[in-house]
Structure 1
Amino acid sequence: MRKFPHKKQISLVDDVATIILAGGQGTRLYPLTEKRCKPNVCFAGRYRLIDIPISNSLNSGIKQIYIISQYFSTSLNHHIKETFQFDHIQGAMLSFLHPEENEKGLNWYKGTADAIRKNLEVFKECPSEYFLILSGDQLYNMDLHAMVKFAKEKEADLTIATLPVKEKEAKRMGLVRVDESYDVMDFVEKPQDQKILKNYRVSEEFLREKEFKDPKEHHYLGSMGIYIFKKDALFKLLEEDKRDDFGRHLITSQINKGKTAAFYYDGYWEDIGTISSYYEANLALTRNHLGLDLYNESFPIFANPVNLPCARVCSTKIENSILCQGSHIEALEVTHSMLGLRSHVKKGTIIRNTIVIGNQFYEPPSSMADHLPESFSIGENCQIEKAIIDEHVLIGDNVKLINKDNLETYDSDGVYIRDGIIIVASGTTLPDNFVL
């Protein structure tokens, strides 16, 4: 039985249930999402993105968790069941929800609000008085218990988790405007107009008074897409406003209906929306004190338990890199890179600024042999820089993946470039002497 941390004031969250929105298709993360949904994308060598919100909920003492999935839901739910073994977590319950099928086929969710609305009958049976709504594709270490406490003290119908952001980040987020008591006065989604941005700019004096980080740089309060609703307020909102999305539609509507508060969070947070953000978030872990904290034993991120040996390294120069279990590394050099589970890199190869996602097995099972390479490895005397190598890839000898023409975008059979980053898609075989 896996044991999860308990908080001292556990009773405070007994009447809270978590809803994790895990239905994202992740088109901007293609080709990593060609065969998996965005919350099921691998992260940090051995995790999936979905592990983050589930772990944060369990660490915060919230044990009633609903997972709403849509695309590639079978493989996502299989991973969750293997990782969290929900039948064996003391007092916890994970429930899986997905689009229902009718005579016209699957009744797909049209947005974040629509996904919850179409499952309202399930949520009405839940005894919890508060619903915590999380995204399945964000990175953060957050004591959600503290946010619940804040929401209850404020007696807010809706509480929005916020963090200070710069103008560049503000343009791709929802922004809130608050008063001195953190009551939300207004909300706008992804503003591009400078006049609108000016209206949401927070004064440096206010930031200093509230002890915000870097008050000279972070002039806006951005929504993290994390919400706590009172149960009755959520149901009423979804029944009265039939639009599809919280950020684009319903948050503004709720501000006009009842009390809305902003919870301030000053830790690490990253929304994995693009290949570039995924790449940077992974490699940030190879630098000290940057990125998601995976080394906090009192607030762990839980991973699928695997019975693998430690990585074996043979005469390789390694600098600022992470090597995961079951790996066999014979490379000449691995610098500022991440090598996932069961990675195999052969002699003479140089890997820099690269994510090797790793493999689910050393050799393909017979049921998958027809559409996967016969083995998974990176060959001898290769040079790979600024790349993402997806799982179950076979790279031949003397291959160069260096983006020699400095392309921002490129598409071919199994090999892509996005934001200047080379991506080798899952299941791809690259022949000897291939150069890009």
Structure 2
Amino acid sequence: MPFALLKYGLRRRYRPVPDLPPEPDLKKRYDVVIIGGGGHGLATAYYLATVHGIRDVAVLEKGYLAGGNTARNTAIIRSNYLTPEGVAFYDESVRLFQGLSEEFDFNILYSERGHLTLAHTDAAIRTARWRAEVNKHLGVASEVIYPDEIARLAPNLNLSRDVRHPVLGALYHEPGAIARHDAVAWGYATGAARRGVSILQKTEVTGIVKDGDRAIGVETNRGRIEAGQIVQQVAGASTLLADMAGFRLPIRTVPLQACVSLPVKPFLDPIIVSGSLHVYISQTPRGELVMGGASDPYPLYGTRSTLDFKEGLMANMLELFPFLAEMKILRQWAGMTDMSPDFSPIMGETPIRNYWLDSGWGTWGFKATPVVGKRMAETVATGTVPELIRPFRLARFDDIELLGDKGAASVGH
């Protein structure tokens, strides 16, 4: 331990500064009420305060801060999607991520690793080429590479032809990165709270108060709160809140499981994904292997882990990295993903006036945190949906203008 740090910690007059100020008293009314204290809700509150000067904001979280899907993801950041709308949207998020540590004065452990989407079939190679061309057209670094180059980037990956699913090539996305998910949430929370935003934990919304077709407040386990505008950002429980507000969402909620190994000496720099094998893996700065796969095939509002997931994941993981056969799993978990029919999010207007929506994130929610916060804050502050997120409107399902990013989901769903 550095002597200066030890000296600072033992100093009598040392007074640690808490990340968050004490929780304020609950008021009867706020200009904006955000339902959901995860990354998206906290980022929206932060940008409302910092960019638009709107600080009379309450973030309502039924549990503890960022304890839902924000605490249950695998922290991969990328923008190598398939549709122009998706690529442009996530590219802005990547650029925002790159400056967050400096903006927060708080290290989010952002680490560019490169992202390899493996192709095991001729069809997968064609899709990789398609994605690469869309990406490059929009200024995003992606290219199709072949086994000799893959071996240089990931020398421990099994590239033998004598396997069930040999690797024929990969889509290489150089800006692919990982970050510390709870650091991102705490950075946004601290910045918002220090600017006057009220972050209220253990405050569960039990109903939406309406006057005709206009939302005017929420019912909570701590009483009624009036609101000028309401933003719903509750991944996993999106349909439940929408039902309270009086409209339906084309969303199915399913569990998505992941696991992490005991830490080992670093050997894997890029993020490895196989859509055919339904697996992905990255290594943290501490040496843990973070692994996941396909979402469960049945709807469920639960976050339990299953042996079936672990057995299926390990069988396919060992085809890519046979030497992991004796690796020990440290822990396993699940999150609740809200899947839309076209595998793209739903943001913006709802049938209820003054009630804004941010949902349908499936497995893509964490990587979109900064751009969602920035653009949803702009929507609330101006009353106008920005062009960047307009393609993701709820009304696209009525207009039959669906998006098609299922091919860029990286793992099967």
Same fold (TM over 0.5): no
CA radius of gyration, larger in? 1
Q: State the TM-score, normalizing by the size of structure 2.
A: 0.28
Task: Name the structure with the higher helix share.
Answer: 2
Q: What TM-score do you get using the length of structure 1 for normalisation? A: 0.27
